[in-house]
Amino acid sequence: MEIHKISANKPYVVSTINEDTQVLRERFNDWGYLYIKGYIPLADCEGLLSAVLNECDPYIRRNASSLPHLEGQPFFETDPIWDEIYPKIQSLEAFHTFFHQQHVLNLMEIVAGAPAFVYPMKMARISTPRKIGFETPPHQDAHSHHAGPTMAGFWVALHDVSEAMGRVKVLPKSHRLGVRPVFNTQGVGGVQCEIYEDETTWHVSDVEAGDVLIFHSCTVHKAEPNTTSEAVRISVDTRFCDHGAAVFSTNLDPHHGWRIEGLDWPSIYSGWKNTQCQYYWRDYPGLF
């Protein structure tokens, strides 16, 4: 199992949006991910972070450096505090529309090579300190999302993230070996995929607000533990594919709507000012 291996870290391979589209697409296909620094405007990240933190009060607030700071007991995904604040975050119009901005779609389409379909399921990640062992284990989205080969993840750092806060690590080129066997384990999602004997080098870097990580559906990735005493890591992500590709029907539901009572689209949409990003998938042709 991966937890018994000695592994090494290398920094992410950095891409820039000014590179030729074909070069970026080939790099994604080669490494299984793209890491683009500073792609999302800082104002967008700050605006969404402020909105999320407003819903996290009083459990998480800003410290003197304006970074998320834990005020009480630590928690992780599915704990009572998380279940209390998460429906409020999911109801934020700015959270969902964040991924439908044209510059975000443009980046998705570079990877997809076609118009992109953004999954309705949007996810906010809250990693508090003092929950070591409950971080997200190594996994593939191809398993958890029942995804086809063209699906990819789109992850955005809303603030600077250091090693101690728990970064996202990817296993380079792991997408080439397809979907792997899994076993139950502790941590977000409760499932870990197999790591093979020769896979000992992970890619990971400190990130800054606005950095984007895009990863193939079969690329193995995981979270490092948050080893700080009070800092909280908050990020957001979604999934996308080329429009018309197969999408499993559960990806049309709100994240954790299957287990949190009342977390459904009518509730989420009830306070929105604009309907443009509501129910946009109802006539999607590739559902199964």
What residue spans define the domains of the chain? 2-269
Mean per-residue pLDDT for 231-243? 97
pLDDT tens-digit readout, 141-199: 999 899 878 999 999 999 999 999 999 999 999 999 999 999 999 999 899 999 999 99
Per DSSP, the residues of 25-80 read HHHHHHHSEEEETT-S-HHHHHHHHHHHHHHHTTTEEE-TTSSEEE-S----TTSH
pLDDT tens-digit readout, 271-285: 999 999 999 999 999
pLDDT on residue 139: 97
pLDDT on residue 4: 52
Would you say the C-alpha torsion 132, 59, 63, 89 has a positive or negative sign? positive
CA–CA separation, 260 and 84 (whole Å): 9
The answer to whether the beta carbons of residues 244 and 285 sit under 8 Å apart is yes
Regarding pTM above 0.85, the answer is: yes
Give the CB-side neighbour count of residue 177, counting CA atoms within 13 A.
15
pLDDT tens-digit readout, 70-101: 999 999 999 999 999 999 999 999 999 999 99
pLDDT tens-digit readout, 45-69: 999 999 999 999 999 999 999 999 9
Mean per-residue pLDDT for 238-261? 96
Total length of the chain: 288
Under 8 Å CB-to-CB from 114, ≥6 apart: which residues? 242, 243
The answer to whether the beta carbons of residues 24 and 217 sit under 8 Å apart is no
Q: Which CATH superfamily is domain 2-269 in?
A: q2cbj1_9rhob like domain (2.60.120.620)
CA–CA separation, 230 and 228 (whole Å): 6
Terminal alpha carbon distance of the chain: 33
Q: Is residue 70 packed enough to be buried (19+ CB in 10 Å), middle (13-18) or exposed (0-12)? A: buried
pLDDT on residue 149: 81
pLDDT on residue 1: 46
Task: With CA atoms as reference, report the closest residue to 31 among 13, 44, 17, 47.
Answer: 13
Mean per-residue pLDDT for 108-123? 97
Q: Is the pLDDT of residue 2 over 50?
A: no
Task: With CA atoms as reference, report the closest residue to 228 among 168, 172, 162, 158.
Answer: 162
* Tokens, residue 274: 């604009």
pLDDT on residue 147: 86
